[in-house]
Structure 1
Amino acid sequence: MSKITFYEDKNFQGRSYECDSDCADMHPHFSRCNSIRVDSGCWVLYERPNYTGYQYVLTRGEYPEYQRWMGYNDTIRSCRTFSYQTSGGPYRMRIYERPDFQGQMMEFNEDCDSVHERFRSRDIYSCNVMDGYWTLYEHPNYRGRQYFMRPGEYRKFSDWGATCATTGSFRRITDFYWQSASTIIFYEDRNFSGQHHECMSDCADLNSYFNRCQSIRVESGMFMIYDHANYKGHQHFLSRGEYSDYQRMMGMTDCVRSCRMIPMHRGNFCMRLYERSDMSGQMMELSDDCPNVRDRFHMSEVSSCSISDGHWLMYEQPNYHGRMFYLRPGDYRCFNDWGASSPLVGSIRRLMDL
């Protein structure tokens, strides 16, 4: 049986209300909602009564403040519960560039963190969900307004509650679905002291939030941080944990100017490496970690690559040492495209829930 508990105040404080079924009007039970605990089931919450307004998809977990479910405010007025799609079941969705299933079509059975990069369009006008439950997002990397999609035909974007066709990303709702927002906190001084800034998504310019960074706490998720704005310069990967003296532990300066949130990927991994630019010359396909590129492929230079599935880290040296470079799905026609100054690649690994 599904079970969710709503709290009026942050950190599961104040008046609470426990619910185990659909509710079209929650106003009599609480006046505001600032934290939620989902004990079981998949839930879709709505900003207005009768299942209208902003939607939020939540699965089992704790959400100590409304920003954790990417809420726009503390208003929840109705909710619905759905049974999980089992992790072994199929997922299949077709998206179309025009209403009534017309125009270009693409079929997906995995998460997509950037519709524009995969579909070459930001607009989805109709959709046919054949298997599984999905969530559509207004922006890339699973941000912005959310729309819950269950199996069925959606002939126009208003059928799933949207006011326009713009879609940035989408992902499956599975047993393993990890909905709570990724969170990283930057501190100006060591040992998590001084001025700090909390971030839950990509940020191209952190300069306005802090002057220096000497400690970092990653509460959830995975992030790449960069020493220049706009995701340039030296890159470093951080997973959940505490970095009390960031400079000493990571060997970088106290300059952190941008960061990317790395979406969770649970499906297949596939990368094609090419010895020449523009995906030409000898090609090698990789679907698992590679601690030594030279030993495995008899080459140490990769001039271009194409990633069809998963998120990856490239390293300058074997055994995952040296400068690192984050690569997400897409085509990289030259090594400069992933931020390297030379084609030298020593090792490669997949980014999973490390």
Structure 2
Amino acid sequence: MGKIIIYEHANFQGLSREFTTSISNLQDVNWNDIVSSVKVIGQPWVAYEHSNYGGRFLVFEEGEHKFVGEEMNDKISSLQLITENLHNPQITLYEHADYQGRSRIITEETNLGEGHDNDIMSSHKVQRGVWLLCENSDGSGIQYLAREHENLPNYTTINFNDKLSFLRPLRPGSDS
């Protein structure tokens, strides 16, 4: 499945705590807003700024990770294990809301900024996997996590209409 080890200091130093299931509020285990580095084994995890999986987030995939800069250092309040099957991912993007207009099926990391589909998508249907959708072609800016079997008819509801430039499926861990 998956495991995350969180550390109170950078470079995997200081106190640590291991989780194998999601935790909606790190305050419940006295770890709120003190995480500075993590290690992930297996399936990806999502670290959220607020409890109950809210606010800004960072995706951590298998391997060692350190926080760079101040954007999320000591600001994590909940952790969510990605449990979906991440093999053979597929998402269908639509040019207009309500799955109208041109559509495009995506099965791998794609930079829309290099073609005619940059900043024009307005809805999607996720057939398989979990997808990280990004405003900018370098993966920065507004981000959205599209989960398996999610049908999102209008990007306006997430302040993402005509902003999608880059997307990638989350990678399965070595134990899945």
Same fold by TM-score greater than 0.5: yes
Partner of 1:320: 139
Greater relative CO, 1 or 2 (CA 8 Å, sep 6+): 2
Partner of 1:289: 109
Distance 1:303 1:184, change over 3 A: same
Partner of 2:130: 311
Partner of 2:159: 341
Q: How far apart are 1:247 and its partner, in Å?
A: 4.4
Q: How far apart are 1:296 and its partner, in Å?
A: 3.2
Residue pairs, 1:94-105, within 5 angstroms = none
Give the counterpart letter for 2:67 in structure 1.
Y
Distance 1:336 1:200, change over 3 A: farther
* SS of 2:121 mapped into structure 1: coil
Q: How far apart are 1:264 and its partner, in Å?
A: 6.2
Distance 1:294 1:220, change over 3 A: closer
Partner of 2:53: 231
Partner of 1:47: none
* SS of 1:268 mapped into structure 2: coil
Mark the runs of 5 or more structure 1 residues left unpaired by the alignment. Answer: 1-180
Distance in 2, Cα, partners of 1:269 & 1:221: 15
Aligned match of 2:72 in 252, 258, 272? Answer: 252
TM-score (norm 1): 0.43
Distance in 2, Cα, partners of 1:190 & 1:294: 34
Partner of 1:261: 81
Give the counterpart letter for 2:159 in structure 1.
S
Distance in 2, Cα, partners of 1:256 & 1:233: 10
Aligned match of 2:28 in 196, 208, 211? Answer: 208
Distance 1:299 1:247, change over 3 A: closer
Give the counterpart letter for 1:206 in structure 2.
L
Distance 1:272 1:342, change over 3 A: same
Partner of 1:222: 44
Distance in 2, Cα, partners of 1:267 & 1:221: 11
* SS of 1:320 mapped into structure 2: coil
Give the counterpart letter for 1:328 in structure 2.
R
* SS of 1:300 mapped into structure 2: coil
Residue pairs, 1:145-160, within 5 angstroms = none
Residue pairs, 1:1-16, within 5 angstroms = none
Q: How far apart are 1:229 and its partner, in Å?
A: 1.9
Distance 1:277 1:264, change over 3 A: closer
Aligned match of 1:352 in 164, 171, 175? Answer: 171
Distance 1:266 1:192, change over 3 A: closer
Distance in 1, Cα, partners of 2:53 & 2:152: 16
Distance in 1, Cα, partners of 2:26 & 2:128: 29
Mark the runs of 5 or more structure 2 residues left unpaired by the alignment. Answer: none
1:264-315 Cα offsets, whole Å, 9 max, x none, are: 6364322111233332333222222212x14334341332211011221111
Partner of 1:158: none
Partner of 1:241: 63
Alignment coverage as a number of residue pairs: 169
* SS of 1:256 mapped into structure 2: coil
Contact 2:21-2:81 within 8 A present in 1 as well: yes
Q: How far apart are 1:188 and its partner, in Å?
A: 2.1
Partner of 1:121: none
Contact 2:126-2:151 within 8 A present in 1 as well: yes
Cα RMSD after superposing both structures: 2.5
Give the counterpart letter for 1:303 in structure 2.
S
